[in-house]
Amino acid sequence: MKQINLLGKSVGIVTTTRVQHATPAASYAHSASRKWYSDADMPDAAKTDGCTDIASQLLKNTDIDVIIGGGRKYMTPKGTKDPEYPRDYSSRGKRKDGRNLIDEWQSMKIGKVAHYVWNKTDFNAVDPETTDYLMALFEPGDLHFETERDPNMDPSIVETTEKAIRILQKNPKGFFLLVEGGRIDQAHHSGRAYMALHETVAFDYAIAKGLELTKEHETLTIVMADHSHSVTFNGYPFRGQSILGKSPLWATDVLPYTTLMYGNGPGHKITNGKRPDIRDVNTKNKDYVQLAAVPMQSATHSGEDVAVLARGPMAHLFQGVQEQNYIAHAMAYAACVGADIRHCQGQTEAHAVHTIFTNDKNGAGAACGLPALLSSLLSALLALVVLM
């Protein structure tokens, strides 16, 4: 992101988690721990050695034009009341250094058209045609799951993606946008397949919106995952049966089981050597936790290859089985970033690289491997880069 920004291109991040979370933070921060969201999360030794928290790096490392997600409490001094949940102590500011990073961000943008918003009404009022910078933090921490989102308070990932693209695409030199559907991963960690699938559908709509707002001949779209999960399909459900339903086949213990289960996680429920009888349980409920083979407080990631989809200029670079670090180099090459840009010399038209990294899709034409279609339903990113 910084390399793209130094070339004069606009950059942005959109996420359904806190903006200081692992995936968005990886695009702008350098940290020994992914959990150093604010200075309150850092050990004293790290501060003494000169390390800084992720939230503060959000302001200083790269001039990010669009920042959308959650994470208000990591930006304000300890005890600062949250504008949406003033009576909730867990939502109050966390910073021990007394800094209000939201105020600092606004001060840094004097002379520019910059907006900070925390609710949908103010978000909708932001005109992308006249806006230079936008910071939108809709929750103290991560955003709500899509099925629990209040549409009157928080916009959808489709709406945030569209707003970000419309702001960034005004730059004639191009832009880079990373969009993450990060709560897909969090739902899987909780063993809640319903939530994971609905988060994935929401992200799929965001991808569609990104494709609608960009042009294929000048935009490279990439969809990929960073890892898979231990969720698995059980056979043999009838054709047309709900993926959240139960298999028509019963196990040898004469009990039904769901089509989707986890290799491990909080859904492990063996009592006196027996599985629970779920004949009268609504497994299609959003709060249902799938059964798991091994007891864990949080379901783990798994090791299948995950897929990469690519469409647009330089899409041919994303084929076959590759190490994951290859993706970044291929993106940089496609975006004419780096030491060797001989392939970009003589280029007369601006090309766009609109990249979607999704931790939950399998590629059609570009792949890191195909076995984990549902197993890789994780955080997802969308990135757009316009090339010169």
Same domain for 125 and 243, yes or no, is: no
Q: Is the domain of 220 the same as that of 313?
A: yes
On whether the CB atoms of residues 165 and 210 are closer than 8 A, the answer is yes
Tell me: do 270 and 150 sit in the same domain.
Answer: no
Three-class secondary structure assignment of 161-228: HHHHHHHHCCCCCCEEEEEECCHHHHHHHCCCHHHHHHHHHHHHHHHHHHHHHCCHHHECEEEECCCE
Does position 1 have pLDDT exceeding 50, yes or no?
A: yes
Indicate the SS3 state at residue 279: coil
CA dihedral 143, 145, 149, 154 (to 10 degrees): 30
Model confidence band, residue 378 (pLDDT cutoffs 50, 70, 90): very low
Q: Bridge-partner residues for 177, per DSSP?
A: 12
Q: Yes or no: say if 165 and 177 are a contact pair by the CB < 8 Å rule.
A: yes
Residues 23 and 154 in one domain: yes
* Of 146-150, 305-309, 324-328, highest mean pLDDT: 146-150
Asked if residue 214 and residue 320 are part of one domain, the reply reads yes
Would you state the pLDDT for residue 352? 53
Domain hosting 161: range is: 2-229+302-387
**What pLDDT, on a 0 to 100 scale, did the predictor assign at position 347?**
60
What CATH number does the domain containing 19 carry?
3.40.720.10
User: pLDDT higher for 346 or 18?
Assistant: 18
Angle CA 214–215–218, to nearest 5: 115
At 256, which amino acid appears? P
Does 357 have pLDDT greater than 60?
Answer: no
User: Over the stretch 107-129, which tens digit does the pLDDT of each residue have?
Assistant: 999 999 999 999 999 999 999 99
- Where is the domain boundary, 246, 275, 299? 299
Whether residue 263 is found in the same domain as residue 222? no
Q: Is 351 assigned to a binding site?
A: no
Per DSSP, helices labelled H in 49-129 are: 54-60, 101-108, 120-125
CB neighbour class for 203 (10 Å; exposed up to 12, middle 13-18, buried from 19): buried
Confidence at residue 346, expressed as pLDDT on a 0 to 100 scale? 66
Backbone dihedral angles phi then psi of residue 119, each to the nearest 5 degrees: -140, 165
Please check whether residues 239 and 286 belong to one and the same domain. Answer: yes
The kind and range of the H/E element at 24 are helix 22-26
- The type of residue at 203 is F
What is the signed CA dihedral for 68, 26, 148, 91, rounded to 10 degrees?
-80
pLDDT of the residue at 359:
52
Q: Which residues contact 65 (CB under 8 A, 6 or more apart)?
A: 10, 11, 12, 132, 133, 134, 167, 168, 175
pLDDT at 10 over 50: yes
In sequence order, what are the residues at sequence separation of 6 or more whose Cβ sits closer than 8 angstroms to the Cβ of residue 204? none
Helix axes of 157-168 and 193-213: crossing angle, nearest 10 degrees? 30
Same domain for 120 and 23: yes
Residues 291, 350 share a domain:
no
Among 299, 318, 345, residue at a domain's last position: 299
Q: Which pLDDT value is given to residue 351?
A: 52
- Domain endpoint, select from 262, 277, 299: 299
What DSSP line would sit under 308-356, residue for residue? EEEESTTGGGS-S---THHHHHHHHHHTT-SS--GGGTT--S-EEEEE-
Q: Work out how many domains the chain is built from and give that number.
A: 2
Shared domain for 36 and 98, answered yes or no, is yes
C-beta separation of 91 from 34 below 8 A: no
State yes or no: 349 annotated in a binding site. Answer: no
Q: Which residues pair with 354 in a beta bridge?
A: 384
**pLDDT band for position 345 (50/70/90)?**
confident
Q: 384 pLDDT exceeds 50?
A: no
Same domain as 19, residue 107: yes
Instruction: Tell me the C-alpha distance between 208 and 205, whole Å.
Output: 5
Burial profile 312-331: b = 16 or more Cβ within 10 angstroms, e = fewer:
bbbbebbeeebeeeebeebb
Across 37-51, 216-230, 365-379, the highest mean pLDDT is recorded for 37-51
103 in a known ligand binding site: no
Is the pLDDT assigned to residue 12 strictly greater than 80? yes
Query: What is the reported pTM?
Result: 0.89
Same domain, 240 and 374: no
C-alpha closest to that of 209 among 235, 257, 177: 177
Residue 333 preceded by cis peptide, ω within 30? no
Residues of the chain with pLDDT > 90, as a percent, come to 77
Span 312-316, average pLDDT: 93
Give the residue among 110, 5, 113 at the shortest CA–CA distance from 61. 5
329 annotated to bind ligand: no
Q: Provide the pairing of β-strand 260-265 with 292-295.
A: parallel
Q: Tell me how far apart the terminal alpha carbons of the chain are, to the nearest angstrom.
A: 16
The single-letter code of the amino acid at 26 is A
